[in-house]
Chains A and B, each alone.
Chain A
Amino acid sequence: MSKLSQSVLDKIKKEQIAPRARWQFVVLHCAVWTLLLLSVITGSLAMSVVFRDLFGTEWEFAEYVAGSRLRGIIIMLPYIWFATTALGIFLAYKLFEKTRHGYRYRAWVIAGGTVALSGLTGLIFFAAGTADSFEHGIRQTIPQYARLREAVEGQWVAPEKGILVGRVKELTNEEMLLVDDLAGKEWEVERVGQALELPFELRVEMMLLMRGEAVEDDEFQASQLRPWRRGEPLRKPGRPGPGAEGPGAFERGTPPPPNARVLNRQGPGAFAPNTPPPDGEAFNREGPGAPELVPQPAPPMR
Chain B
Amino acid sequence: MSDSTPPQSTDLELVRRALSDQEELLHLMERYESRLLRYVHRLTGLGQQCVEDVVQEVFIKIYRNLNNFDQALAFSSWAYRIAHNEAMNYIRSNNGRKTLPIETDDEDSLNLADILASEVDLPDEAARAEQAQLVRSILYTLKPVYRDALILRYLEDQDYAAMSDILQKPMGTIATLLNRAKTQFKQLAQKNNLTLHFAS
A23's nearest neighbour on chain B, judged by CB, is: B67
> B97 in the interface, Cβ–Cβ < 8 Å?
no
Within 8 A of A (CB), among B58-103: 59-60, 63-68, 70, 72
Kindly specify which of A2-10, A129-137, A259-267 makes contact with the partner chain: A2-10
CB–CB B63/A106 < 8 A: no
CB–CB B33/A4 < 8 A: yes
Kindly specify which of B17-25, B150-158, B185-193 makes contact with the partner chain: B17-25
Given B22, B37, B171, B172, which contacts A9 in the complex, CB threshold below 8 Å? B22
CB–CB A17/B173 < 8 A: no
User: Could you mark each residue 76-106 of chain A with 1 if its beta carbon is under 8 Å from any beta carbon of chain B, else 0?
Assistant: 0000000000000000000000001101111
* CA of A12 to CA of B66, assembled, Å: 14
> B116 in the interface, Cβ–Cβ < 8 Å?
no
CB–CB A4/B56 < 8 A: yes
* CA of A114 to CA of B48, assembled, Å: 46
* CA of A12 to CA of B28, assembled, Å: 15
B195 to chain A, nearest CB (A): 38
CB–CB B29/A5 < 8 A: yes
* CA of A58 to CA of B65, assembled, Å: 58
CB–CB B164/A101 < 8 A: no
Cβ contacts under 8 Å, A24 to chain B: 67
* CA of A21 to CA of B23, assembled, Å: 18
* CA of A7 to CA of B59, assembled, Å: 10
CB–CB A4/B170 < 8 A: no
* CA of A18 to CA of B19, assembled, Å: 9
Cβ contacts under 8 Å, A18 to chain B: 22, 64
CB–CB B60/A9 < 8 A: no
Cβ contacts under 8 Å, B68 to chain A: 20, 22, 25
> B122 in the interface, Cβ–Cβ < 8 Å?
no
* CA of A22 to CA of B23, assembled, Å: 20
CB–CB B64/A20 < 8 A: yes
Cβ contacts under 8 Å, A105 to chain B: 170
Cβ contacts under 8 Å, A8 to chain B: 25, 29, 56, 59-60, 63
Q: A4-B55, A4-B56, A106-B170 are in contact. Are A101 and B30 (CB under 8 A)?
A: no
Cβ contacts under 8 Å, A13 to chain B: 22
Q: A5-B26, A8-B25, A9-B26 are in contact. Are A17 and B164 (CB under 8 A)?
A: no
Given A4, A7, A19, which contacts B65 in the complex, CB threshold below 8 Å? A19
CB–CB A20/B65 < 8 A: yes
A206 to chain B, nearest CB (A): 52
CB–CB A2/B70 < 8 A: no
What bracket does the count of chain A residues touching chain B fall in? 20 to 34
A8's nearest neighbour on chain B, judged by CB, is: B59
> B108 in the interface, Cβ–Cβ < 8 Å?
no
* CA of A1 to CA of B59, assembled, Å: 15
Cβ contacts under 8 Å, B37 to chain A: 4
A104's nearest neighbour on chain B, judged by CB, is: B170
* CA of A208 to CA of B59, assembled, Å: 70
Given A1, A21, A101, which contacts B26 in the complex, CB threshold below 8 Å? A1
A12's nearest neighbour on chain B, judged by CB, is: B22
* CA of A19 to CA of B20, assembled, Å: 10
Most A CB within 10 A of own CB, among B37, B52, B63, B70: B63
A193 to chain B, nearest CB (A): 62
> B197 in the interface, Cβ–Cβ < 8 Å?
no
Q: A1-B26, A8-B25, A12-B63 are in contact. Are A103 and B56 (CB under 8 A)?
A: no
Cβ contacts under 8 Å, A1 to chain B: 26, 30
B43 to chain A, nearest CB (A): 17
B99 to chain A, nearest CB (A): 21
Q: A4-B55, A13-B22 are in contact. Are A19 and B66 (CB under 8 A)?
A: yes
Q: A4-B29, A8-B25 are in contact. Are A17 and B60 (CB under 8 A)?
A: yes
B172 to chain A, nearest CB (A): 6
Q: A interface vs B, CB < 8 Å?
A: 1-5, 7-9, 11-13, 17-22, 24-25, 100-101, 103-106
21 A-B pairs with CB atoms under 8 Å apart are A1-B30, A2-B30, A3-B52, A4-B52, A4-B59, A8-B29, A8-B56, A8-B59, A8-B60, A8-B63, A12-B60, A12-B63, A17-B63, A18-B22, A18-B64, A19-B65, A20-B65, A20-B68, A103-B169, A104-B171, A106-B172
